[in-house]
Amino acid sequence: MVDVTIIGAGITGSLIAHCLSRYDLKVLVVEKESDVAEGATGANSAMVHSGHDPKPGTLKCRYNLLGNRMYPDLCRELQVRYVPIGAYVAATSQEEEKKLDTLISQCIERNVPYEVLNGDEARKNEPNLSDSVSKVLSLPTTGIIVPWEVTIAAMEEAMLNGTELKLDYEVKSIEKKEDHFLINGEIKTKVIVNCAGAHCDEITGMLRPSPYRVEAKKGEYFVLDHLDGSFVKHVIYPIPTEKGKGVLAVPTVHGNVLLGPNSEFTPDVEDDSTGEGLDFIRSEVAKTVKNIPFHKLIHTFAGLRPHIDLNDFYIQEDDLIEGFIHVAGIESPGLTSAPAIAKDVCENMILPKFKEAKARENYIRRKPFIDMKEMSDEEKEELIRKDPDFGKLICRCEQISMGQIRDVINRKCGARTLKGVKMRCRPGMGRCQGSFCEPDVTNILMEELHKDVKEIRLDRPGSNICAALAKEDL
Ligand SMILES: Cc1cc2nc3c(=O)[nH]c(=O)nc-3n(C[C@H](O)[C@H](O)[C@H](O)COP(=O)(O)OP(=O)(O)OC[C@H]3O[C@@H](n4cnc5c(N)ncnc54)[C@H](O)[C@@H]3O)c2cc1C
């Protein structure tokens, strides 16, 4: 029998698995998609918010503040990137300046480091702040991460320490038996943690009427090519509104810039198409920044916030069904909050049920992904001498070698799809968006996974790439 089954391998499910992997428990993570981080975790602003903004007294506020403080150490432990880039919240009118004062008071109450600048002072550091910006709240503890990198690393390390991950496994039924649950009529488990994002209410509904209902709020983005700080150096927020934090300009860890998101309810919790919100983003972002290099646009995408009608996170053991733990409504600032949520759920909701569980001895740490861009020429030469595949360039835009692609496939929680390779080491993320390298990456996946081309997927179950894409090139 499994001790703990986690439904959903987004950042919350993966970090809970990671926390639990420190103990000698039998932990299983089930995920309906073909990889981890395929839900909201795979499409967002990638920011570790400082905690200046959530409503006082909410779980969002509490976990945001704790999570923000945990990220630097967590990322160091997992050997993934965390960049304390800082943020500017920009006011452009007297009315907005008053709202900024409320945020400043919240920073004081919450012990969030801050500085206040006038428009000219701020423009000295950020020349592309719009001329109408009159006052700025600077938040130095705002960070940026690669959300799927944190998730993959957490799951990889959990798996190195005994956690089992079942991909392409959709939970369709749960029965409550006397001392366990039965998932899909086959998995016996003592505890279930519901981290199913946009499908949390369906999972709960398999056992009882759900106390919350999920509605998806779509957020669309433009992605600009590598600008490496030449456009903005900080995250630029407008003044928040009832709809959320507003349309941002966000430098990414890899030197791109995201512009977005909007925030619109959408009836289909899986509809991540883009289009309708992009004009709005274009006009909104121009209120806080100028000289936007739209000619550097390389991509658009959308993410879906799993909003629940209780307007806060819902994190607790079910009041009727012992052993069923809700981690629901994890919309923004869910990424920031995830380490603190995972610690709380693990230490205060799960471990008290397994008093005999001991800390695992000889805990195995993961090795970082091989990033040749960060290496000196000598280090690269040494690597290529040991394995010539590191000298074969596959992705010209992002400078990724065949050796790096093989490495991300042949790991615990390794890539199984084209998107999986792209998330782990970036072929296809550059300005050609994979037009040149996709056939080669397909070829490598076929070789490493011993699969036929028809079995190689773009991403989710059913998305097998067509033979036409692969034909002569392969
Ligand atoms: C546009 C946008 C911008 C955001 N920006 C930020 C930000 O900058 N900072 C921040 O802190 N937060 C941000 N967030 C919020 C953050 O992305 C989410 O809170 C977080 O990713 C939620 O993670 P999760 O693991 O709870 O859910 P998800 O990542 O959605 O994972 C849920 C998983 O459950 C799986 N699943 C569902 N049903 C089943 C089933 N029946 N069987 C098996 N598996 C199932 C799904 O496939 C999915 O992989 C943003 C969100 C969006 C959409």
- Which pLDDT tens digits describe the chain residue by residue (474 residues)? 999 999 999 999 999 999 999 999 999 999 999 999 999 999 999 999 999 999 999 999 999 999 999 999 999 999 999 999 999 999 999 999 999 999 999 999 999 999 999 999 999 999 999 999 999 999 999 999 999 999 999 999 999 999 999 999 999 999 999 999 999 999 999 999 999 999 999 999 999 999 999 999 999 999 999 887 889 999 999 999 888 899 999 999 999 999 999 998 988 888 888 888 899 999 999 999 999 999 999 999 999 999 999 989 999 999 999 999 999 999 999 999 999 999 999 999 999 999 999 999 999 999 999 999 889 999 999 999 999 999 999 988 888 999 999 999 999 999 999 999 999 998 888 777 777 888 899 999 999 999 998 888 888 877 877 544 544 454
Which of the 8 DSSP states describes residue 362? S
Burial status of residue 112 (CB atoms within 10 A of its CB: 0-12, 13-18, 19 or more): buried
Q: What is the pLDDT of residue 436?
A: 82
Q: Which three-class secondary structure string do you get for 219-253?
A: EEEEEECCCCCCCCCCEEECCCECCECCCEEEECC
- How much distance in Å is there from the Cα of 356 to the middle of ligand 1? 32
Q: What are phi and psi of 263, to 5 degrees?
A: -150, 95
329 Cβ closer than 6 Å to some ligand 1 atom: no
Q: What is the pLDDT of residue 433?
A: 78
- How much distance in Å is there from the Cα of 106 to the middle of ligand 1? 27
- How much distance in Å is there from the Cα of 335 to the middle of ligand 1? 8
Q: What is the pLDDT of residue 471?
A: 47
| 3-state SS assignment for residue 50 | coil
- How much distance in Å is there from the Cα of 195 to the middle of ligand 1? 9
Q: What is the pLDDT of residue 41?
A: 97
Which of the 8 DSSP states describes residue 271? -
The first and second tokens of residue 127, run together, are 């020349």
Task: Report which protein residue has its CA nearest ligand 1's atom 33.
Answer: 8
35 Cβ closer than 6 Å to some ligand 1 atom: no
465 Cβ closer than 6 Å to some ligand 1 atom: no
Q: What is the pLDDT of residue 468?
A: 42
Pocket test for ligand 1, best of 41, 269, 419 (most atoms within 8 A of CB): 41
427 Cβ closer than 6 Å to some ligand 1 atom: no
Ligand 1, residue 335: give the atom nearest the CA: 11
47 Cβ closer than 6 Å to some ligand 1 atom: yes
Angle between helices 334-344 and 59-78 (to 10 degrees): 90
Strands (DSSP E) found in 86-150: 87-91, 115-118, 135-139, 143-145
Give me the active site residues, please.
Answer: 49
Q: What is the rounded (10 degree) CA torsion for 81, 270, 323, 11?
A: 0
328 Cβ closer than 6 Å to some ligand 1 atom: no
CA-CA-CA-CA torsion sign (133, 86, 370, 27):
negative
For the entire predicted model, the pTM comes to: 0.95
Q: What is the pLDDT of residue 324?
A: 98
Q: What is the pLDDT of residue 467?
A: 44
Task: Report which protein residue has its CA nearest ligand 1's atom 35.
Answer: 8
Pocket test for ligand 1, best of 183, 330, 419 (most atoms within 8 A of CB): 330
Ligand 1, residue 330: give the atom nearest the CA: 19
Ligand 1, residue 12: give the atom nearest the CA: 25
7 Cβ closer than 6 Å to some ligand 1 atom: yes
